[in-house]
Chain A
Amino acid sequence: MNPINFLVALSAILFSIGVLGVLTRRNAILIFMSVELMLNAANLAFVAFAQKWGKLDGQMFVFFVMTVAAAEVAVGLALIVTIFRTKRSTDVDDLAQLKG
């Protein structure tokens, strides 16, 4: 197994762990960190495929994914802070007012 194949397989494993984190943890901050893990797994796959095809475009996509992740974290954490101020909790199961 050569390094590129190894990295793509590792990226699938990390992505799966991230999905498990999003779907099993109930704390909003932990869910956000799992999303970051999934984005990072995708970045690893991008870099591995850039190496495979000898093109820089894959690395460009990693650059943009990182920027979007930074924006997402800034807005997401601001939302969590605002929700914590009114609900005194970061548990996503406590946010069920719209449920009939």
Chain B
Amino acid sequence: MNELIVYILLGVVSVVSALGLLFSRNAVYAALFLVLNFGVAAAFYLLMNAPFLAVIQISVYAGAIMVLFVFVIMLLGAERLPMADAGARIKASRFVVIAGAAVLVVSVVYALLTQGSGAAAPYASDPLAIGMMLFTKYAFPFEAVSVLLLAAMVGAVVLTTRDAK
């Protein structure tokens, strides 16, 4: 029961920070709300028996990716968002989206309340087990992802370099 209180508190912080991202008028504040959301996700990973992923979440997401976001926002000087940004022009589609989101949440909660038993099964999830699995069962996806990262790196450099002719 005590554990559930921790989960609910973290869940409230997570949803509030996501809503802050959704309604923020300043792009830098939105980025900081997203960092908070990623930090809460890392806490959930720790609670869910995934310590390696928690560290990766902080170092890759909250570190590298969000630094890139904040860097680009400040480089472009685009942190001020216009007031009409929240979508006054697209009212009809917004209601459709809200209805669809409500259907998704209600159906998931209904499915969980009616048939989810969800008892945890014990398993090894230390970095050793992850490394063993990564280099045996998932060796091919691992190599494919390395090629993807190389392509992304070359692509980013090519896209942002001005012609030096």
Whether chains A and B associate is yes
Q: How far is the CB of B147 from chain A (nearest CB, A)?
A: 10
Q: Which listed residue (B68, B108, B125) contacts A56, Cβ 8 A?
A: B125
Are B122 and A68 neighbours in the complex by a CB distance under 8 Å? Answer: no
Q: How far is the CB of B98 from chain A (nearest CB, A)?
A: 7
Give the residue among A4, A33, A36 with the most B Cβ atoms within 10 A: A33
A-B CB contacts (within 8 Å), total count:
234
Are B138 and A60 neighbours in the complex by a CB distance under 8 Å? Answer: yes
Q: Tally A residues with Cβ within 8 Å of B.
A: 70
Contacting residues, chain A, for B82 (C-beta < 8 A): 91
- In the complex, whether A9 has a CB less than 8 A from a CB of chain B is yes
**Alpha-carbon distance A29/B68, docked complex (angstroms):** 11
Contacting residues, chain B, for A32 (C-beta < 8 A): 69
A-side interface mostly: helix
Contacting residues, chain A, for B112 (C-beta < 8 A): 1, 5, 8-9
Are B48 and A9 neighbours in the complex by a CB distance under 8 Å? Answer: no
**Alpha-carbon distance A51/B3, docked complex (angstroms):** 16
Residue-wise interface mask of A (34-65) relative to B, using a CB-CB cutoff of 8 A (1 in contact, 0 not): 10110010011001101111111101101110
**Alpha-carbon distance A91/B112, docked complex (angstroms):** 39
Contacting residues, chain A, for B141 (C-beta < 8 A): 64
Q: A50-B50, A74-B156, A78-B156 are in contact. Are A13 and B15 (CB under 8 A)?
A: yes
Give 28 CB contacts A-B under 8 Å: A1-B112, A1-B113, A3-B47, A3-B118, A5-B112, A9-B112, A17-B101, A21-B21, A23-B90, A27-B27, A27-B78, A29-B69, A30-B30, A33-B21, A36-B34, A40-B61, A47-B44, A47-B48, A47-B50, A59-B125, A60-B133, A63-B56, A63-B134, A72-B152, A74-B156, A78-B159, A80-B76, A81-B72
Contacts A3-B118, A68-B148, A74-B68 known; list 9 others, CB within 8 Å: A6-B11, A12-B105, A14-B15, A14-B37, A34-B22, A43-B41, A52-B118, A69-B65, A90-B76
Please report A residues at the B interface, Cβ cutoff 8 Å.
Answer: 1-10, 12-21, 23-27, 29-30, 32-34, 36-37, 40, 43-44, 47-48, 50-57, 59-60, 62-64, 66-75, 77-82, 84, 90-91, 93
